[in-house]
Amino acid sequence: MKIAILGASGIGRSHARWFAGQGCELVSILGSSDESAARTGEVLGADFGFAGATYSSLTTLLHESQPDAVCISTPGELHFLQSLECLEAGAHVLCEKPLVYAPGRKIRENLDGAKELVRLARKKNLVLGAQLQYGAATPILCKMSGMAPSEVGDFAMELETTNPKASREPRELWIDLGPHALSVAQFLGGEGSRLLEESVRVLAAPGFDATEVSVRFQLARADGQLVTCRTILRALDSTFSGRKAVRRFAFNGRVVTYQGMAGEGGQYQAQYTAPDGYTNIHPDPVAYLIGDFVRAIRQRDRPLISGEFGLQNLEWLLKIAAKFESE
């Protein structure tokens, strides 16, 4: 399977290695300029022997390297047009979250763009996946907590980032990190679950060294049972660079912690710690998600985190984001 990575200088660098680990051939990468793409190509060459082509034009990349699938790891405002062009060219697409998002667009415009991508992928019988790795990891998280997803009536998540590029504006921080909490909530809610918009409560606390966003909402499962969800998202500045970012998940009060760690060859792995202190090591959630995306293409199946899943995630994300403006 021939793969192209759009935006391979950041997290896309790890994506490239994970695809290579699935037996895929990385044939090309896209950068913001010829120079940056060439530099990234050299880094990937040293990493794992990448010898593919580098481009700054997506149209040229698709025409010349003809990838079977494309991994989109570029900024959100580029997702729609890049995904559209790749699908039109007949390539399967794994797109970073949010599936479609541009700050200047209205909610309906962003949602219509995501719906168009889902419709096009169905029409052309292509796999469209969304990079919502914590949703993919939810079965592992629930197992570590000792709960089945259907048993969870109360879910909480605390997530911090020390990324210097993370927004300190509360609404945009929610747009950036909120998809992760929502993806777990979606998995717990199951098919047919609904966001109860009247239940949404948001609280933002910008500070000189951190911005914290708290969001509470409820989901109604298809059978009518409610799931109460709470999330705390935090963007920390360099004051906190000496400590590891917190990532905790609670299912009916049973807390599972997650910590990324370097494994063999420098590749990321996930260390999960159960409520009783038991620790287990798994592949990084993104590596697992990429493996499932590749499986879905090879088996002509639906991925665990599909375009439809990404669309629902975006819809809930934007509906909650609107509350930041009204409260």
190 vs 244, residue with greater confidence: 190
pLDDT in tens, 170-215: 999 999 999 999 999 999 999 999 999 999 999 998 777 889 999 9
- Domains in the chain: ranges and CATH: 2-131 (3.40.50.720), 133-284 (3.30.360)
Q: What is the pLDDT of residue 167?
A: 86
Mean pLDDT of all residues in 274-303 = 95
Q: Report which DSSP code applies to 169.
A: S
Residue 327: pLDDT band by 50, 70, 90 thresholds? low
Q: What is the pLDDT of residue 115?
A: 98
Residue 54: is its pLDDT beyond 70? yes
Q: What angle do CA 231, 235, 239 make, to 5 degrees?
A: 135
Residue 131 CA to residue 114 CA, distance in Å, equals 14
Query: Residues 6 or more apart from 49 whose CB is under 8 A from it?
Result: none
Residue 257: is its pLDDT beyond 90? yes
Query: Residues 6 or more apart from 326 whose CB is under 8 A from it?
Result: none
Q: Are the CB atoms for 5 and 91 separated by under 8 Å?
A: no
Q: What is the pLDDT of residue 177?
A: 96
Kindly state the percentage of the chain with pLDDT values over 70.
97
Residue 95 CA to residue 145 CA, distance in Å, equals 29
DSSP states of 71-140: EE-S-GGGHHHHHHHHHHTT-EEEEESSSS--TTS-HHHHHHHHHHHHHHHHHTT--EEEE-HHHHHHHH
